[in-house]
Structure 1
Amino acid sequence: MYEGNGVQGTYGAKSDDQIAADQAAVDAQSAVDVAQAAIAIEQAKADAAKAAAEKAQVDVTKALVALEKAKENLANVGEGGDGGLEAALEAARLAQVAAENLAEKASVAQKTAEAATLAAQNAQQSAEDDL
């Protein structure tokens, strides 16, 4: 306790306004921390989706190469008989189906990456707004 100039008080005491301001600062920092964690999660999702899209694109390229190879084999069958022709046709058909499936997966992965990136951007904006 101290006393001076007709005033009594306690050293280091805080006013109610100071206590409220300190609590508001703690609450704001907590909100920022939560928002930053959400941003990190969404960014990780975006990164994973982008990696999946890139892998799917590589797979599509491989499937297209396989399709071209199957078409080449089909062209080279020539007079090898119906068995060789049927096998080459089936290989070409399977390669085309695989290429189509991989293209669809790449499209889905790309859309997922875009959505995750948008979510990360929204989380970033929310964190900035909280500040």
Structure 2
Amino acid sequence: MAESRGAGHAGGARLSAFLDDELDDAAALALTHHVTGCDRCRQELEALRATRSALRSLPAIQAPVLTAEVRSLRRVRHWSRRVVAISGLTAAALALGAAAYVAGGDVGEVVPPVERFLLDHLARTGDGPMPAPLGGPVR
């Protein structure tokens, strides 16, 4: 129902608030007195009551079962979140690794402990002396 425009008449919103017990006592009492003497507002109030009653008499409906398409969309959305999370973690790990590399600086020449490897080999196999590696003399 649209808001009534006549002077002194209660509008549809005010009548609806009256039906829903949303008005304070003074406003509800004033509206009750007005509706008692105003055919136009009384008819609108009765129409609102009838509409409310008709809506409440409708049977409750059962929510539809999810279709395969909706379930599929939910799986895709879940998968997409997982991909975004994994991508973010990967990017963070790469950034952290790059920062550690840059911050680490030059560590100098890396020299493998060839002599220790040779001694270990001799102790395990019992073989005699080994020739020097192709790269030069053993340090």
| TM value normalised by structure 1 | 0.31
| TM value normalised by structure 2 | 0.29
Greater percentage in helix: 1
